[in-house]
Amino acid sequence: MATITRWDPWNDMLSLREAMSQLMEESYVRPDAARGQGFVPALDVSETQDAFLVEAAVPGLKPEDLEITVENSVLTIKGETRQENTAKERNFHRIERRFGSFQRTIGLPKSVQADAIKANLEHGVLKLEIPKAEEIKPRKISVNVTSSKTLENASNN
């Protein structure tokens, strides 16, 4: 006995919406990822009271493979991953690692101390500490307490 299934046009609309969303992401948001080309390191950006912290996953890179600049409140991390020279002597069955140059840019608040940025590369993670300028750090304002006797003496004079 055959089962009758009722047609629901909303199911088709949802799949069309998902297809359009995927097309837009592959075309405009992450075009290199859609083609399987390029290497873009993943970033974590956080903040402490004194600094902004940026951590980038750059496995296999050496400090000389990286270029870090700050210009007009924009942090730029450039680098390049290279394939080993022995690749010509081997017959590869699969290559999944990505090679080539990359560039990541992050807008920073205008109030950072660009000349005091510290960079550290350890276990394939680039860690940047970007100190905040004094004018954007939170300040604690102390409140002075005056006693009522002092106020009474001042008003009597």
| Averaged pLDDT in 10-residue chunks for the chain of 157 residues | 68 69 70 56 90 92 91 88 72 78 86 89 94 75 73 57
Q: Residue 117 contacts by C-beta under 8 Å, 6 or more apart in sequence?
A: 68, 70, 128, 129, 130, 131
Chain CA centroid to CA 28, Å: 18
Q: What is the pLDDT of residue 57?
A: 92
Q: What is the pLDDT of residue 29?
A: 62
Domain ranges of the chain: 10-36, 40-137
DSSP β-bridge partners for residue 122: 125
Other CB atoms within 10 A of residue 12 CB: 10
**Which CATH number applies to 40-137: 3.40.1260.10, 2.60.40.790, 3.40.50.970, 3.10.129.10?**
2.60.40.790
Angle (nearest 5°) at CA 57 between 81 and 21:
95
Residue 86 φ/ψ region, left for φ over 0, alpha for ψ in the -120 to 50 degree band, beta for the rest? alpha
Do 101 and 77 meet the contact criterion of CB atoms below 8 Å apart? no
Q: Residue 112 contacts by C-beta under 8 Å, 6 or more apart in sequence?
A: 52, 70, 73, 130, 131, 132, 133
